[in-house]
Structure 1
């Protein structure tokens, strides 16, 4: 039997910070800042209103919550109990409609509910699991034929090491030290190969850039550090 595709150290790392998920000035500030950009990008490609959406690795629910507010019926899943409790509490306090949270892995849910979702999102998660290809395969199994799967992760190259790890964690201290491990970062060519193996066609690629002086993020075609994939199930 396959063990759960999760790193206990990674789960512990994010569990310890769970109570700070919804503080926009906390370690999760970058997620709060990029969320409107990725939300609008997803919604432009596949209008979320009325769609059944799964958010894998939802953490405290920043993206799940905003997709529900766009009119989607959202299920957020994660393996961090603490983060899920934070997400559920926020949904209650903010009266967010049509969002539920479950503590289950993508692989387990794929067995339970195959071809059940119009849209699957897996953002800022693949670089934290032992076997990214397993998650990509599960995403493909969970989405309906013709449905959309969105990924975001970090490239693996000297520039990304300098920007995403040295710059973000040590110089600017935007993220806690040790948030990302260089060896776990994923080149776009590697993620594209995982997608092809899982019958996901790459439809669009976007880069996400940051200016530390203006503290502003924007979408671009530069995928050398942070990047996103929009794929469709064949």
Structure 2
């Protein structure tokens, strides 16, 4: 495995402990339940669906979906995280296709997937508009795009940077840059420009606090001033 110090990507530095009980990234797995409680409303069954997770990191979402019967591929720019994801999938007996790559240039054929997920990632890519266009390209006709990201508001600055990084200290400092947050109006433009149709109102997913086991308490509603998630169709 590539040594973490040689990985140029921020989250790659946490690869060696990604799945550990004391991992700094453990709280990210807390979002799977509430996130997919919403996404599931738009997926009749995950079994046999060809799914790509863009920005898969160490594999929290890919393994979650593989366990549901999906045929999963995962892509991330960090070689360290992909190595960890591959190793953990092998340890747990899951068949997941992992590749190193960036969202702006997906190494997959047109129409290769029924579903693409991109969660807590769009605010980290270099070009979100290009990434959404690439996601649309690899979606099959009628395929759906499931995503969440962070709004660019004073509320999100406080809730997603000040509180988790400096007050609660549950997220490493520097994990997010306010300038990279995406307003819903911008996101709607990216979707429209890629030929994708938004299927629902923006839904917020707000962090309320942290439990003793390290998992996060969240609340889902229509308030999208901090984070928001949605579904789009090709």
Partner of 1:144: 140
Q: Specify which of 142, 145, 159 is matched with residue 163 of structure 1.
A: 159
Q: Specify which of 167, 179, 184 is matched with residue 180 of structure 2.
A: 184
Provide the C-alpha distance between the structure 2 equivalents of 1:118 and 1:173, rounded to a whole number of angstroms. 38
> Could you report, residue by residue, the CA deviation over 1:86-105 in whole angstroms, capped at 9, with x for unpaired residues?
10111011112x31111123
Partner of 1:33: 30
Q: Is the 8 Å Cα contact of residues 11 and 79 (structure 1) preserved in structure 2?
A: no
CA 170–220 in structure 1, closer or farther in 2 if over 3 Å, else same: same
CA 174–10 in structure 1, closer or farther in 2 if over 3 Å, else same: farther
CA 17–136 in structure 1, closer or farther in 2 if over 3 Å, else same: same
SS of the aligned residue for 1:119 comes to strand
Give ranges in structure 1 of 5+ residues lacking alignment.
1-8
Q: Is the 8 Å Cα contact of residues 10 and 128 (structure 1) preserved in structure 2?
A: no
SS of the aligned residue for 1:128 comes to coil
Provide the C-alpha distance between the structure 1 equivalents of 2:210 and 2:99, rounded to a whole number of angstroms. 39
Give aligned pairs, total: 223
CA 106–212 in structure 1, closer or farther in 2 if over 3 Å, else same: closer
Provide the C-alpha distance between the structure 1 equivalents of 2:106 and 2:91, rounded to a whole number of angstroms. 27
RMSD: 1.8
Partner of 2:3: none
1:130 and 2:131 are equivalent in the alignment: no
Q: TM-score, normalised by structure 1?
A: 0.89
Partner of 2:59: 61
